[in-house]
Amino acid sequence: MTENQAQIDYWNSAAGLRWVTHQDRLDALIGHIGELAMDAAHPAAGERILDVGCGCGATTLALAERARGGRVVGLDVSAPMLARARQRVGDRADIELLEGDAARLPLPAGGFDLVFSRFGVMFFADATAAFTHLHAATAPGGRLAFVCWRALTENPWTSIGLNAMAGLDQSPPYDPEAPGPFSLARPEKVRAVLDAAGWRDVTVTGHDVPLRYSDDANLDAAAEFYSSVGPVARILATLDEERAALGRARVRTALAPHLGADGCVLPGAVWVVTARAS
Ligand SMILES: C[S@@+](CC[C@H](N)C(=O)[O-])C[C@H]1O[C@@H](n2cnc3c(N)ncnc32)[C@H](O)[C@@H]1O
């Protein structure tokens, strides 16, 4: 058991399977956000790169394309998501996929020029310890670049669903500091964690990002995808049929004002964080 066991269990449960089932649509939903982080990371030819919480492998593949002649290691705790990543990577010699906890798995000291993550570093029980471990795996002067969510209040793509599901389940009150999507939402916390973990020249840059749940004015399709993965799906999985139906109906109603001729688009907000290893 590690201090991250609850998250390891979560990402190996139905949650990980939902990401596998909807991998294509999720990559389309957040692909442009990963590109923001990748532009900030500027991976270069021949570099050794670690993709933390690589999930189903989209960014691992993209990093390998950018770092031609280099080597990319994708690391994740989720066996089902890694299995999907392995299918996509095939027998490429420049990519290795590892199953393990990024906070603990032994990694070569100074073995990476760049540590990257698209939404994979917010789930550590002890963020400082985890980023210290990742720092030790980074060559002196090497880079860190990741993207994480800003506060829940700035991310209607989540709050709309949580508000729609309010009162339907027995979830404890939302704790923004707990391991989870919004645990690095406070820039002062990001800076404190990275400083304590040995990283220097920290930058935290905000971006407003649209999340497109459908490409046309099909409300049912948008509501179905929205409810299939993420916070609403997690709650729906705990409800009996009657409450789940009520929740789905509420979600559909809540999404309606965000539907236009070119699709259902919800606002989101992220931080792109960069730093340098001392
Ligand atoms: C929100 S998903 C993002 C997946 C992928 N980066 C993407 O953008 O498609 C978060 C990922 O972080 C992984 N994860 C969570 N805690 C982790 C840990 N301690 N070590 C490695 N991976 C972890 C999860 O298994 C999951 O794949």
Q: Containing H/E element for 210?
A: strand 199-214
Ligand 1 near 53 CB (within 6 A): yes
Q: Is the dihedral of CA 77, 146, 59, 119 positive or negative?
A: positive
Ligand 1 centre from 195 Cα, in Å?
A: 23
Kindly report the average pLDDT of the chain as a whole number: 96
**Nearest ligand 1 atom to alpha carbon 55:** 27
Helix axes 219-228, 241-255, angle to 10 degrees: 120
State the pairing for strand pair 95-99/138-149: unpaired
> Which tokens is 60 given?
């691992």
φ/ψ (deg, to 5) at 87: -60, -40
The single-letter DSSP state of residue 217 is: S
| Angle between helix 14-21 and 79-89 (nearest 10) | 30
What is the structure's pLDDT at 217?
86
The protein residue whose alpha carbon is closest to atom 18 in ligand 1 is 101
- Pairing state of beta strands 138-149 and 263-277? antiparallel
**Burial level of 106, CB count in 10 A (0-12/13-18/19+)?**
exposed
261/149 Cα distance (integer angstroms): 27
- Beta-bridged to residue 256, according to DSSP, are none
Please report the pLDDT score of residue 132 as a whole number: 98
Phi-psi bin for 167: left (phi > 0), alpha (psi -120 to 50), beta?
left
Residue 260's φ and ψ, nearest 5 degrees, are -125, 180
Task: Note if the pTM is more than 0.75.
Answer: yes
Closest Cα to residue 116, out of 147, 71, 84?
147
* C-beta of 227 in contact with ligand 1 (< 6 A): no
Say yes or no to pLDDT of 170 above 90. Answer: no
Residue 30 near residue 53 (C-beta atoms within 8 A): no
Residue 3 CA to ligand 1 centre (angstroms): 16
Q: What is the pLDDT of residue 2?
A: 80
Residue 278 confidence (pLDDT) above 80: yes
Structure tokens given for 202: 């920290």
Tell me how far the alpha carbon of residue 217 lies from the centroid of ligand 1, in angstroms. Answer: 31
Q: Report whether pLDDT(1) > 70.
A: no
pLDDT band at 171 (very low <50, low <70, confident <90, very high): confident
pLDDT tens per residue across span 21-64: 999 999 999 999 999 999 999 999 999 999 999 999 999 999 99
Given this model, what pLDDT does residue 14 score? 93
Give the atom of ligand 1 at the shortest distance from the alpha carbon of 8.
Answer: 16
Measure the CA–CA gap between 236 and 25, rounded to whole angstroms.
Answer: 20
Q: Which of 7, 89, 116 most suits a substitution to test ligand 1, by most atoms within 8 Å of the C-beta?
A: 7
What is the predicted pLDDT for the residue at 257?
Answer: 96
Atom of ligand 1 nearest to the CA of 51: 6
Distance of alpha carbon 104 from alpha carbon 134, whole angstroms? 9
Nearest-CA residue for ligand 1 atom 4 is 55
Q: pLDDT at position 231, please?
A: 87
